[in-house]
Amino acid sequence: MKNIHIANTELDVSEISLGCMRISEMTNPAISRLIHTALDEGVTFFDHADVYGGGQSEAKFAESIDMTPSLREKMMLQSKCGIRQGSFDFSKEHILEAVNGSLKRLRTDYLDVLLLHRPDALVEPEEVAEAFTILHDSGKVKYFGVSNQNPMQIELLTKFVKQRIVFNQLQLSITNTGMIDAGINVNMENDPSINRDGSILDYCRLKEITIQPWSPFQYGFFEGVFLDNEKFPELNLIINEMAASKGVANTAIAIAWILRHPARMQPIVGTTNPERLKDICKASDLTLTRQEWYKIYLAAGNQLP
């Protein structure tokens, strides 16, 4: 597994991260096997959120491996906060309370990364700044980021927050390419030319913010996976042909397509199957050509102007 350096930090992270949203439904032995498989494959970065499984995903993660200081040193833990039932909450009080809860459930003294989980329309950036400073100065959180935020939302935060925003978690897959489409279809009058996110991809590159693509195998908004799906015959034909020629699984091709982008993203994969995770990790050893990348992009139903 290759590592990537996160700009403006001391973090060198596995270029593929394991998302832990669904592990609350698993047994502890199954979770332990998944985590240790990840570590054996070189995946050292684990993505959590306080709302995953109502907190059980974090708790069972630590329980299943009997978290110890020596084991904690082998991994980087990221969690997210800000989603509450029926609302979003970036208040100072909630951020501090949420982090303390995550630390307790994960059986650790610190998070490597804390993300604000989706935008809060009622955000008061001064309160976020106070919370981040308390968490950073106390050693409870090393680095900070956001999820699903556009450039102006990040600019608003950075006007007040002393710490750098180093991650932005955004939806991206071969079939969810809005942030790429708008950049290709500049000065066009077609639907892909509509800039729905403020050029977030280019903004993150300019500001050295690492994008973490979530749901890299999903189409739509959690509508299902596109791999081996009869709704995407041409796409699967191309991916399967490419996978066969390279001796890897189709999941590796889907992740290699994301890794090929020069933004040096860190995709988050949410598989709970250790064998599938091994297949996915082979993407780290692949580098698609420019022609292969565009061939997949066009097979997903996109057009070039």
Report, as residue numbers or ranges, the catalytic residues.
52
Q: Are strands 165-171 and 210-214 parallel, antiparallel or unpaired?
A: parallel
Contact between residue 35 and residue 29 where contact means Cβ atoms under 8 Å apart: no
Structure tokens at 210: 């690492």
